[in-house]
Structure 1
Amino acid sequence: MRKFLFLFFAGLFLTQAQVNEQTTAKNHENKPKLVVGIVVDQMRYDYLTRFYSKYGEGGFKRIMNDGFNMKNAHYNYIPTYTAVGHTSIYAGTTPTNHGIISNSWYDKYAKEGIYCVDDSNYNTVGTNSDEGKKSPHRLQTTTVTDQVHLGQNNNGKVISVAIKDRSAILPGGHTANGAFWFDGGDQGKWVTSTFYMDKLPSWVAKYNTSGDVDKLMSKPWETYYPIETYTESIADDNPYERKFKGEEKPTFPHDVPNLRKTNKNYSLIKAIPAGNTMTKNFAEAAILGENLGKSEFVDFLAVSFSSTDYVGHQFGVDSKEIEDTYIRLDKDLEEFFNFLDKEVGKGNYTLFLTADHAAVQVPSYLNSLKIPGGYFDDEVFANYVNDITENYFGSREIVENISNFQIFLNAEEVRELKLNKAYVQQVIADEIINFKGVYKSVTAQALQSSSFDYGILDLLQKGYNQKFSGDILFVPTPATISYPKHGSTHGSGYSYDTHVPMIFYGVGINQGTSMNYYPIIDIAPTISTLIGVEYPNGNTGQPISEVLE
């Protein structure tokens, strides 16, 4: 009997060991050789649905139908800007923790405006301009790309590419093997910083001398399909768009070769769909040049398509130009996915596609439809705030800076007047709510001492950083922007700015869709779980279990 029981339990343990071995093998099978993070700058979720009939089968539709499509993904903080979005995707947390509170912001310690990735300690590699004086030094946490290195004993490669410097630098984290961005003007070359290296890799130098950029700018920008078929967008000739310099009207065709000289030469490619094609070509060169996806370790390629943002800002979210840009991006993605199939292998890579923010429809266009919206007058508002401080405290020097819908107090002036800082904050917050265009206002004191669990103030709190943010934060009314009256912008916590695509595709990813709410910060822990590394060190997101096999 004892012998029987011994054999029985031994069989159980053997079976469990076999199960564990099979599970380990399965997890290993589901680990990609290459992760590709794709961020489409300023992509609203509804671009997937609005232009769906215009897309081919191999681009957006391929990953939507064969991957996992999150239909209700949102940014869970304010402000929704490029640098903040890219950082939050890769850091798995909000500005409260990672410290990137805008693209540019007022530094209350240095008493000056700063740009998120500027760093005079480093120099440009690739041209003789100052475009490479950059680094991720203002990023306070690690990213999933950092964890790729930390979790593999500094093995595996991380390469990040984008036209915009901030869109390349911040996703790459602190340990990227290379981050590359485009230096326009009369340069027309991809560059990097001495933070990463002292000399361009041979594949970058080869691309810079290939003539690809000039080739892409050699033809006018015309619609891919006949313009009369673009029924998803408003009339081409409308009063809501901004022209290129040298154009009489903001309409097709856009004569790119002749517009170069009046639109900063190579910088023009940023604002046309060819900029996305250039980025795709450069990303493919990076995969080949760095042998990504070929080693025993997991590699990571971060790619941001920036031209969509430039087009949206200039022409607006309802323009023919936006529709054509996404039709052409769909073709670029199809080519890129086919390239990954061939060079990395269908079963060897995983990708996600999302956006760093969405965008508002042009308020003047909304007004034409009798929908509320408007324009915030920064100068009038600044005078209004100074009137408040003069009336209450007898000084127009109490406010030091107003930017990014934040008010920074002059701490020295407050002390000299022997005022209570919290009281000054509250007075200003209470009074500015009466200004036309201000919808919500809150003090730093309230954000530090209270917890908001839902609504706009919750988003504002998640975007507030005690060390770097202002003393009073405020929110404009819906569809009210601080921007010219032509083109679109973003930055708010309203759905038109927060609702973005979130699609996972490839090895280890389930096929399906979800209408459950997910914040964008869930991407990093989901990818970390997939590849078996620790979450970024400031992470507040959760892995999405229904995405993973």
Structure 2
Amino acid sequence: MAVMFADTDAQPGKKNKGSSARSASVALLVLTATLLAPVACKKSEAPWVELYKRSARSDIDLYLVPKKYALLESSWMKKTAIARFNKEQLAAELAKYGRSLADLQKSPEHEYKEENGEIKLRVGRISHSTAHEYDTAIPLVFYGKGIEPRDYGQRVHQQHIAPTLAALLQIRNPNGVETKALPIVKQQSAKPALVFVAVIDQGGMNLLRLHKDAAPNIHQLMAKSANFSDAHVGHLDAHTAVGHMAIGTGAYPVKSSVIGNTFFSMEKKAGAQKLNKAEIYATKDETKVSTLDLKSESLADVLNATNAGKSVIVAQSYALRAAVGMAGHGAEWLAANGTAANGNGLTTAVRQGNFVYWLDATKSKWITDTRYFSLPAAAKASDVLLNYAKYYPQGFEGYKIRDTKAALENWGVLMSTPAETQLEGELVRAVISEQIIGAKKHNDGFTDLVYISFKSADAVGHHFGFESLEARDTVKEIDTQIGKMVEFLEKNYGQDFVFVLSADHGVAPLSEISGGLRLTVEEVMAEIDTLLPPDVAQNESLVHFMTVGQISLNKKLMQQHNISIDSVRGVIRDIRVNDTPFFEGVLTRKDLRLDG
């Protein structure tokens, strides 16, 4: 179905709602019927239906289906930045959406400037969360000991990684696994000494194809590996926390309970309101995490139990939600599953041998929760700002970060630079050298498991767009670090390792390029609350919480004011941006046959 935009050059505009839009939109009714038709027969269910079913928690009532290229996020998405583009490449990208450079030139808000084949453009933020191809198509390759190198054409998900590695390590699957090990082993041999998993955050196939010339190591790795060219995200929301959880545990969100990065709710009092954001795993103090937000075991959890804490586990990401999602629970065990370690020596062994760490954005230092994990000495000595000043003194144009104050004010930009990528690559190699090779654990017979998330690709994409030259610069450094990592492993392990490369999700094109729409969760909540009497809406909200794709409703308030779920769905479906419907559909649990 073609997606039409009323004003492709305009910035996000006023949302229009009303009964006239509800009753008049015949096309939308036809589309809704089309969307709902597959649920009548399980064999013919559309892929997006399966994604929602794999993600459905019992406390979620509505599932959102945005139009193609429509971006839903919190109000940070309204921030802008000047991004750089190759003129020829930008023109080619615009042409994919029936647009041209002239569309950008005639809009003053874009601040279009051109010089020597390079274009500077003011752009808004981009996001990812949907079942659309640009959000879900990802790389997945396995390289190393015992792996059969060829292209495997079948559709696979991130959830296939954990059971495949479990088979290679000859251990049981984590308890949330529903998929089977991929048939990539030439012959069963001794277990590898090390498994290394590299995740490119926001490293979807659209990014890797557009900047192919900047990523020769990645594409060479694909050519000589077990390459799954039809790998996709198999769940919703297509977000960092969920994707890294999928890679680390092999579980779908319906089992793990991890459905998004952030749970939004609106706090209201006498007409004043504040958007609350509850981050997965996190408390106000990020050295005190809540790993039990993750209801499924990780591969690392199983390896810890199997080898009595003798395997070294490393999980490195500047984002807590990625590091914990990959590593799992460390010394905080899921007692309900019979693996409680409290009160015995295993707790200490696991805590001391699980190096799981992330960056404190308020201090620019690597931290961990020492109740469950350890912080390696190499991470303690690592200084993000000094590294930036040393390796990337020119910075991205317009961002001259020279002191801690500037670093904290421009944290997202700092995290998006090639300097951060270089630091992370060097750091993970230093940790392996320090905690595994230097400690003589690389040849002790117990396989070690290392995860790294190159999250700089996500930061640069959100700020400048994956189409930008800023993104290309960062991708080039990620590619360099991946090449160095393979060389490092071959030097220190010979062929006694397995290297996995994937991504947690892709990303949408910039709205300035696609002509797509932007909408905030605050605006969605406000529209829903128009169903309440005005005096009630001053202090209460119909939205219990929502992610960027799923909504939990306040059932008690709905009952008090005789508001049906279909009424809520209708209001959401009628939301328009620039006089264009934002959503293709809004689905209920009944639509997806989730409750029997």
Q: If the TM-score is normalised by the length of the shorter chain, which range does it land in?
A: 0.5 to 0.7
**Could you tell me which residue of structure 2 aligns to residue 123 of structure 1?**
none
The one of 464, 472, 476 aligned to 1:315: 464
Q: Does 1:42 align with 2:191?
A: no
**Could you tell me which residue of structure 1 aligns to residue 343 of structure 2?**
none
Residues 26 and 407 of structure 1, relative CA distance in 2, 3 Å threshold: closer
Residues 415 and 434 of structure 1, relative CA distance in 2, 3 Å threshold: closer
SS in 2 for 1:442: strand
2: CA distance between counterparts of 1:27 and 1:298? 18
* Shift of residue 193, structure 1, vs aligned partner: 0.9
The one of 509, 512, 521 aligned to 1:364: 512
Q: Does 1:424 align with 2:572?
A: no
Amino acid in structure 2 at the alignment position of 1:278: L
Q: Does 1:214 align with 2:386?
A: yes
**Could you tell me which residue of structure 2 aligns to residue 71 of structure 1?**
229
**Higher Cα Rg: structure 1 or 2?**
1
1: CA distance between counterparts of 2:286 and 2:472? 31
Question: Does the CA contact (< 8 Å) of 1:75 and 1:357 recur in 2?
Answer: yes
SS in 2 for 1:73: coil
Question: Does the CA contact (< 8 Å) of 2:464 and 2:471 recur in 1?
Answer: yes
The alignment's TM-score, normalised by the length of structure 1, stands at: 0.61
Amino acid in structure 1 at the alignment position of 2:358: W
* Shift of residue 196, structure 1, vs aligned partner: 2.2
SS in 1 for 2:230: strand
Q: Does 1:138 align with 2:293?
A: yes
2: CA distance between counterparts of 1:277 and 1:347? 25
Amino acid in structure 2 at the alignment position of 1:188: S
Question: Does the CA contact (< 8 Å) of 1:390 and 1:396 recur in 2?
Answer: no
Question: Does the CA contact (< 8 Å) of 1:220 and 1:256 recur in 2?
Answer: no
Supply the RMSD in Å over aligned alpha carbons.
Answer: 3.3
SS in 2 for 1:217: helix
* Shift of residue 220, structure 1, vs aligned partner: 4.3
1: CA distance between counterparts of 2:283 and 2:404? 30
The one of 195, 198, 211 aligned to 1:51: 211
**Could you tell me which residue of structure 2 aligns to residue 158 of structure 1?**
313
The one of 190, 206, 209 aligned to 2:366: 190
The one of 359, 362, 375 aligned to 2:518: 375
The one of 495, 502, 507 aligned to 1:354: 502
**Could you tell me which residue of structure 2 aligns to residue 336 of structure 1?**
485
**Could you tell me which residue of structure 2 aligns to residue 117 of structure 1?**
281
Q: Does 1:449 align with 2:594?
A: yes
* Shift of residue 74, structure 1, vs aligned partner: 0.7
2: CA distance between counterparts of 1:263 and 1:340? 33
Superposed CA offset, 1:153-210 (max 9, x none): 443121111111111112111126121112244x33221112225x7444444x33xx
2: CA distance between counterparts of 1:30 and 1:386? 60
The one of 275, 280, 296 aligned to 2:445: 296
* Shift of residue 397, structure 1, vs aligned partner: 4.8
For structure 1, list consecutive stretches of 5 or more residues without a partner in the other structure.
1-23, 121-129, 223-250, 368-372, 452-549
Superposed CA offset, 1:96-148 (max 9, x none): 1101111111589xx9742111247xxxxxxxxx3322242200000122122
SS in 2 for 1:449: coil
1: CA distance between counterparts of 2:327 and 2:477? 26
Residues 155 and 27 of structure 1, relative CA distance in 2, 3 Å threshold: farther
SS in 2 for 1:359: coil
Superposed CA offset, 1:38-65 (max 9, x none): 1111112133333223334xx2133212
The one of 256, 260, 267 aligned to 1:98: 256
Q: Does 1:412 align with 2:556?
A: yes
Residues 72 and 97 of structure 1, relative CA distance in 2, 3 Å threshold: same
**Could you tell me which residue of structure 1 aligns to residue 34 of structure 2?**
none
2: CA distance between counterparts of 1:330 and 1:321? 14
* Shift of residue 258, structure 1, vs aligned partner: 3.8
Q: Does 1:287 align with 2:459?
A: no
1: CA distance between counterparts of 2:287 and 2:375? 12
SS in 2 for 1:325: helix
Q: Does 1:403 align with 2:533?
A: no
Amino acid in structure 2 at the alignment position of 1:316: G
Amino acid in structure 2 at the alignment position of 1:214: L
The alignment covers a number of residue pairs equal to 371
2: CA distance between counterparts of 1:254 and 1:102? 32
SS in 2 for 1:441: strand
Superposed CA offset, 1:486-518 (max 9, x none): xxxxxxxxxxxxxxxxxxxxxxxxxxxxxxxxx
Amino acid in structure 2 at the alignment position of 1:440: G
Superposed CA offset, 1:10-51 (max 9, x none): xxxxxxxxxxxxxx9996635211111111111121333332
* Shift of residue 355, structure 1, vs aligned partner: 0.9
Identity of aligned residues (%): 22
**Could you tell me which residue of structure 2 aligns to residue 501 of structure 1?**
none
1: CA distance between counterparts of 2:263 and 2:392? 37
**Could you tell me which residue of structure 2 aligns to residue 387 of structure 1?**
530
Question: Does the CA contact (< 8 Å) of 1:389 and 1:395 recur in 2?
Answer: no
1: CA distance between counterparts of 2:457 and 2:465? 11
Residues 105 and 380 of structure 1, relative CA distance in 2, 3 Å threshold: closer
1: CA distance between counterparts of 2:556 and 2:215? 58
Amino acid in structure 2 at the alignment position of 1:146: D
1: CA distance between counterparts of 2:261 and 2:280? 6
The one of 17, 23, 33 aligned to 2:193: 33
Residues 107 and 346 of structure 1, relative CA distance in 2, 3 Å threshold: farther
Amino acid in structure 2 at the alignment position of 1:144: L
Question: Does the CA contact (< 8 Å) of 1:41 and 1:355 recur in 2?
Answer: yes
* Shift of residue 448, structure 1, vs aligned partner: 5.2
* Shift of residue 323, structure 1, vs aligned partner: 1.0
Q: Does 1:434 align with 2:574?
A: yes
SS in 2 for 1:290: helix
Residues 317 and 266 of structure 1, relative CA distance in 2, 3 Å threshold: closer
2: CA distance between counterparts of 1:161 and 1:173? 12
2: CA distance between counterparts of 1:277 and 1:216? 9
Question: Does the CA contact (< 8 Å) of 1:364 and 1:374 recur in 2?
Answer: no
* Shift of residue 431, structure 1, vs aligned partner: 4.2
* Shift of residue 379, structure 1, vs aligned partner: 4.5
1: CA distance between counterparts of 2:391 and 2:494? 34
